[in-house]
Copies of this chain bind each other. A is one copy, B any other.
Amino acid sequence: MRVSEDHPRYRSLVTRERMAEMVAGGVVSVTGLIAHGRGEAFDYLLGERTTPEAEGAEMAAAALLVLSERPIITVNGNAAALAVKELGELARISDAMLEVNLFHRSDERMEKVCAFVEAGTGEQVLGRIQDGILEGIASDRARCCRSGLMAADVVLIPLEDGDRAEAMVRVGKKIISIDLNPLSRTSQAATVAVVDELTRALPNISAWVEKLRKDPKEAGRVLTNFDNRKNLTSVLDRICHHLREPSSD
């Protein structure tokens, strides 16, 4: 469909059309589109911009990546469709591996998403062989890579399911979530919860990694000063403010 340019939400409609095309290509699952819609609603409540709280979390996320021994970035269909270039850039800058993990998994779809991410990033990705199991998850979604997610100390999880996020925390991973719902189990379980839209969050984290990796002591101070609980409460306050006075900020 052609969206007329004078529609008030033209830009958002164009992104939707792109996501719909990604379904046809097998990268995004149909229920992944519903998840994208949930994100859109929360982004709308945040004013569709990087809030000061998101900026603080992105700096803390970068600090965590800089101080990690073995970071990994997980990628699902939606994350790949929305931000494959930005994911590749952050992986390069932070020396992190990329591991594909799908909620709606089939061998065929796994191959499609891995190939899509490799083409878009120029990086080899993990995921085709899943020889690890995340304890406490009652489905296929428990599967992951032993040399990837299982061996990592810090895991960046864009748009991740709550079950998996909680399971990672239980086995001692430090988690950076990127999730527009500040109340989601994923945001609540994370060590650092970035409540921001993916294509805004990732370049910002990359920029902070570049700055902080020159000064690990500063990265340590950033992390010490970051209070995830307080930051999430502040996001909720901001949403309330925006609900009551939508045009005021």
Contacts and interface: CB of A to CB of B under 8 A. Distances in A.
Interface of A: 1, 4, 6-8, 13, 16-17, 19-20, 23, 29-31, 33-42, 44, 104, 138-139, 162-163, 181, 183, 185, 236-237, 239-240, 243-244, 246
Contacts of A240: 239-240, 243-244
17 contacts: A1-B104, A4-B138, A13-B31, A16-B34, A30-B30, A31-B33, A33-B34, A36-B37, A37-B38, A38-B40, A40-B41, A41-B41, A41-B42, A44-B183, A237-B244, A239-B243, A240-B243
Contact of A23 (B19, B30, B104): B30
Nearest to A19: B34
8 closest A-B pairs by CB: A37-B37, A41-B41, A34-B37, A20-B30, A33-B33, A240-B240, A38-B41, A37-B38
Nearest to A41: B41
A42 B185 CA distance: 17
Copies of this chain, tallied across the complex: 2
A101 to B, nearest CB: 15
A69 B199 CA distance: 50
A39 B7 CA distance: 20
Contacts of A23: 30
Contacts of A35: 37
B30 A34 contact: no
Contacts of A8: 162-163, 185
A41 B41 CA distance: 6
A248 to B, nearest CB: 13
Contacts of A236: 243-244
A82 to B, nearest CB: 12
A238 to B, nearest CB: 10
A7 B138 CA distance: 8
A36 B40 CA distance: 11
Nearest to A163: B7
Contacts of A44: 38, 181, 183
Given A19-B31, A183-B243, A236-B243, 13 more contacts: A1-B104, A7-B138, A7-B163, A8-B162, A8-B185, A13-B31, A16-B31, A19-B34, A20-B29, A34-B37, A37-B37, A37-B39, A38-B38
A220 B29 CA distance: 48
A181 B41 contact: yes
